[in-house]
């Protein structure tokens, strides 16, 4: 059943034409100092190479990109071909409105059609709302890596590793 939120948002494959808006949202995540250890938004060719081509989406209201999600392989080894790391970012003006859940539900469904049986997420532990968001989307905490990454500010951060195992793919 469609909700008011789901009627407002459109989720489409991420294309190069979306990348300016995607990069602006990504920069806001970098600037937050709790969303990523990345210090610079990659150019489109680098972004394009990093993420699985069939596994990148944008969330839109009208013609405005308000968020994006993409999957990257966790390994080149064949045995891990069904495991992907999820990245999901929303413009701060559009967070905490239910849009992220719609996009993550889309990512989960589409990942299964691509043969992905496990989604993983490494979330900076200080990003409490992102940890909660992933838990609310069905992920579970599998561990915390203490002081594993250093921000460009010099601060060492813990990363909460989470995963979601498909109930339909890779059984």
Tell me yes or no: is domain 4-122 CATH 3.40.630.30. yes
User: Which sequence spans correspond to the domains of the chain?
Assistant: 4-122
pLDDT of residue 6: 61
- Whole-model pTM: value is 0.93
| pLDDT tens-digit readout, 10-40 | 999 999 999 999 999 999 999 999 999 999 9
Q: Which helix (H) or strand (E) holds 161?
A: strand 156-165
What DSSP designation does 41 have? P
Q: Average pLDDT in the 99-120 region?
A: 97
| pLDDT tens-digit readout, 59-77 | 999 999 999 999 999 999 9
Paired with 70 in beta bridges are 56, 87
CA distance 21 to 18: 6
Q: Average pLDDT in the 75-103 region?
A: 96
């Amino acid at each position: 059943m469609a909700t008011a939120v789901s009627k407002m948002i459109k989720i489409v494959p991420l294309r190069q034409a979306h990348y300016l808006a995607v990069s602006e949202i990504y920069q806001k995540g970098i600037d937050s100092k709790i969303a990523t250890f990345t210090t610079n938004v990659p150019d489109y060719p680098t972004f394009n190479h990093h993420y699985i081509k069939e596994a990148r989406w944008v969330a839109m209201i009208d013609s405005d990109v308000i968020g994006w999600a993409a999957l990257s392989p966790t390994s080149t080894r064949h045995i891990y071909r069904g495991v992907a790391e999820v990245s999901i970012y929303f413009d701060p003006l559009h967070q905490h409105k239910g849009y992220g859940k719609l996009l993550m539900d889309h990512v989960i469904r589409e990942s299964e059609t691509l043969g992905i049986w496990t989604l993983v997420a490494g979330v900076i532990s200080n990003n409490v709302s992102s940890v909660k968001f992933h838990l609310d989307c069905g992920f579970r905490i599998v561990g915390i890596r203490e002081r594993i990454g250093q921000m460009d500010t010099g601060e060492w951060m813990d990363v909460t590793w989470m995963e979601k195992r498909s109930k339909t793919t890779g059984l």
